[in-house]
Amino acid sequence: MTNVTTTSYVALLRGINVGGKNKVPMATLRELLTRIGATDARTHLQSGNAVFTHEEEDPLRLAAELQRAITEELGLTISCLVRSGTDLRRAVEANPFPMEGIDGSRFLVVFLSGPPPLDRLATIDPAAYAPDAFRPGEREIYAHFPDSIRDSRLAALFTDRWLGMTATARNWNTVTKLLALSGS
């Protein structure tokens, strides 16, 4: 009998179920994950968050397989980032902001497909966006919007187009819930 090792993963889909566009039912997402070999697939909220286990060791390969499955099944081109539970724990533990007194719904982790573009981020004048603030991480940008995310000019910069890479944001409450669900 062969021992099969599985890894806990979190899938983060970008831009689904927003304003009636790019509809991906969570039941369909769970089915697609199962179809690509995932086990224990669970979703959180309706905004493209899934936790699952898989034998595959390469999260980039899993993201590509999930994107392909969504395109084949739903005809949608959806960017997906997949992080291991261990990597999600690293991102949470690396948060450079002291979270005491910070409303988790006004604090974002912008997950990126690669290292933050420090050259672009260096063009941002922090004083021009105060009280909003951000700090780059390893493959994330941490950002606090004490007044509002919705109306923030700084939040508007953390897009695929401006950053030049795939980016998808989750608020701190969601990030920590996904970490708990992943069991990592």
CATH number where 144 lies: 3.30.70
- Residue pLDDT, tens place only, 33-67: 999 999 999 999 877 899 999 998 899 999 999 99
Q: How far is CA 125 from the centre of its chain?
A: 25
Q: How far is CA 158 from the centre of its chain?
A: 13
Kindly state the percentage of the chain with pLDDT values over 70: 96
User: Of the given ranges (20-29, 76-85, 89-98, 163-172), which has the lowest mean pLDDT?
Assistant: 20-29
Q: Nearest to residue 50, comparing CAs of 93, 5, 16?
A: 16
Look at the alpha carbons of 49, 55, 56, 62 in this order and tell me if their dihedral is positive or negative: negative
- The pLDDT, as a whole number, for residue 46 is 79
Residue 89 has pLDDT above 80, yes or no: yes
User: Does an H or E element contain 80, and which?
Assistant: strand 80-84
Domain that holds residue 170: 93-182
Largest CA distance in the chain: 62
Computed over every residue of the chain, the mean pLDDT equals 93
- Pair 113, 77 in one domain: no
Domain count, the chain: 2
CA-CA distance, 79 to 16, in Å (whole number)? 9
CA-CA distance, 70 to 103, in Å (whole number)? 34
End-of-domain residue from the set 44, 72, 88: 88
- Residue pLDDT, tens place only, 6-38: 899 999 999 887 667 788 889 999 999 999 999
pTM: 0.93
Both tokens of 173, joined, read 């409450």
For range 75-81, the mean pLDDT: 93
Does the bond joining 25 to the residue before it have cis omega, within 30 degrees of 0? no
The reply to whether 1 falls in a domain is no
Confirm if 80 and 13 have CB atoms less than 8 A apart: yes
